[in-house]
Amino acid sequence: MRLEGVWLRYHRRGPWVLRQTDVAIGPGEVAVVLGRNGVGKSTLLQLAAGVLRPTRGRVVDRPPAVGWVPERFPADQPFTVRAYLAAMARVAGLPGAEADRAVRHWIDRLGLARFHAVRLPQLSKGTAQKVGLAQALLRPPGLLVLDEPWEGLDAATRDLVPEVIGEVLAEGGAVLVSDHRGETVRLPGARHWSVADGTVTEATPSGAAATVVVELSVPAAAAAAAVARLRADGHHVLRIRDHAAGPPATRPGSDSPSPATRPEPGSTSPAIRPEPGSPSAAVDPASGAGRSGPASEVAR
């Protein structure tokens, strides 16, 4: 998903909150949105989630299933927890039995069972936040957007947030999350987007000059497990794509390289080549050899 030249102001003559914003996030990636109070973090997240429309510019390639967790769950609705989640599952397009299963799963997982018949306005802030988290996950999101998701949650549920984020990433989803509590240190491999003075910049991770991009191909059915394993080993999974879809414009070795990860021409990065006769398409990242085969790319 990409924000292309996005500008946003809330009122016709109001100040610009965001100007000329160009950011992108791919499958299996997580970006943490940082910045002082009131700089526009929530605004950026709402644009990404499709809750706000850009005043100028556009948002492209947003996945069809978006999970949106607002900073404050709007609990002033006259539904019980179960009825609300069942309605949200239908809104998300889940058919009957699947919707019931998803509602049951998230009620259990987030410890909401004893509140299932309680109406939303009667919930404590923390329990309402859990309902806000549950509704975003009923349908596995291709993009999960969380605005300060740790706010008001009890310790057990706070621990669950990075776990859930990891699961969405392992399924090939992308995650955007804002956080002023420093909880994101528990999201290894996260990219950092800083919002200040109406602009969004990506912080270059320290040591980036020493990284290389390794392309590899895995059977589609094994992709989620492979991504989870690579992440558990501390690798940064950049992108997952269909073998058949062909190379995107920004892939390493293409005409439009990603400057943060592509080795300089003549660099000493080791070429990684497949065994003779091997069906896998490991490549020399500098030459772009083997570009027809990879299903995923990994950098460290």
CA 230 → CA 21, 76, 107, 171, 224, distances in Å? 31, 42, 30, 13, 10
CB of 72 to ligand ATP, least distance (A): 10
Say whether residue 17 binds ligand ATP (CB under 6 A).
Answer: yes
Of the candidate spans 37-45, 131-139, 185-193, 252-260, the one that interacts with ligand ATP by CB under 6 A turns out to be: 37-45
The reply to whether 35 sits near ligand ATP by the rule CB under 6 A is yes
Per rule CB under 6 A, count of chain residues that contact ligand ATP = 10
Is 38 among the residues that bind ligand ATP (CB under 6 A)? yes
What tokens does 181 get? 């509590």
Residue choice 21, 43, 127, 135 for contact with ligand ATP (CB under 6 A): 43
Q: At what angle do helices 155-170 and 125-137 cross, to 10 degrees?
A: 10
Contacts of 117 (CB under 8 A, 6+ apart): 80, 81, 82
Cα(80)–Cα(82) distance, rounded to whole angstroms?
Answer: 5
Taking the least distance from each CB to ligand ATP, the nearer of 180 and 300 is 180
Which of residues 48 and 190 has its CB atom nearest to ligand ATP in the complex?
Answer: 48
What's the CA gap between 291 and 300, in Å, rounded? 20
| CB closer to ligand ATP out of 110 and 133 | 133
Residue 42 touches ligand ATP, criterion: CB under 6 A: yes
Closest separation between CB of residue 70 and ligand ATP, Å? 11
Please identify, among the stretches 31-39, 129-137, 166-174, 249-257, the one whose residues bind ligand ATP according to the rule CB under 6 A.
Answer: 31-39
How far apart are alpha carbons 128 and 124 in whole angstroms? Answer: 6
Whole-number Å distance between alpha carbons of 231 and 41 = 26
Q: Is 39 in the site for ligand ATP (CB under 6 A)?
A: yes
Q: Is there binding between residue 203 and ligand ATP (CB under 6 A)?
A: no
User: What CA–CA distance (Å, rounded) separates 260 from 143?
Assistant: 23
Provide, rounded to whole angstroms, the least separation between the CB of residue 179 and ligand ATP.
Answer: 10
Q: Which stretch binds ligand ATP (CB under 6 A): 41-49, 121-129, 161-169, 230-238?
A: 41-49
Binding positions for ligand ATP, rule: CB under 6 A: 10, 17, 35, 37-43
